[in-house]
Structure 1
Amino acid sequence: MVNGYSLDPHPRANFAKEEFAVVRIPRVKRDRVPAASVEIVADLETAIAQADPDNKFYPAKVVGPARSSEGTMLYYIIDLYSDL
């Protein structure tokens, strides 16, 4: 359970796991983002290097993917490094 959400991985996925990513979000106060707005990267340094806050791309630690109740694949934001 993450931030009160139950993670229900895609049927073909073994489990939802924590990873570093660059996420595109319209506002910093988001706790989940569509999978299409997430680019998984190797580590935090890579996420920071690829971030572009002026265009709303932020480095983050995410967990997922998980299917929402609406059937959309989502990633949940564990840490958002918006102040780097």
Structure 2
Amino acid sequence: MIFKKVVMQGYSLDPHPGANVAGRHFAVVYSPRKKRDRFPSTTVTVYESKEEAIAEQDHDSKMYAAEVIGPAKSSEGFMIFYLVEWFD
């Protein structure tokens, strides 16, 4: 398995198995525009597989399949997910 270190605005989320910070997930994310790189946990639905997430996306409702890392606590105290990549 290949692990990719993700750095977001000065914060490092290392998905190494020994680092119990945040997990890597396939998800459907509600996003009015796809230019954001972090999302409140209330807008993210996690799925078991990439295929499931892709099958559940609905572009008309602004629900997009993606790979995310999280949840992690933001500096404001909210639980958030960070975008790794969108699945188009």
Q: Does 1:26 align with 2:32?
A: yes
Residues 80 and 16 (structure 1), Cα distance of their counterparts in 2 relative to 1, 3 Å cut? same
Normalised by the length of structure 2, the TM-score is 0.79
Alignment of 1:1-84 (within 5 A): 1-6=6-11, 7=13, 14-81=20-87, 84=88
Structure 1: 5+ residue stretches without partners: 8-13
Q: Does 1 or 2 have the higher relative contact order (CA < 8 Å, sep 6+)?
A: 1
Partner in structure 2 of residue 11 of structure 1: none
Please list every run of at least 4 consecutive aligned residues from structure 1 whose deviation after the TM superposition is greater than 6 angstroms.
Answer: none
**Structure with the bigger percentage of strand:** 2
Work out the percentage of aligned pairs sharing the same amino acid. Answer: 46
Secondary structure of the residue that 2:24 maps to in structure 1? strand
Normalised by the length of structure 1, the TM-score is 0.82
- Matched length: 76
CA RMSD after TM alignment: 1.3
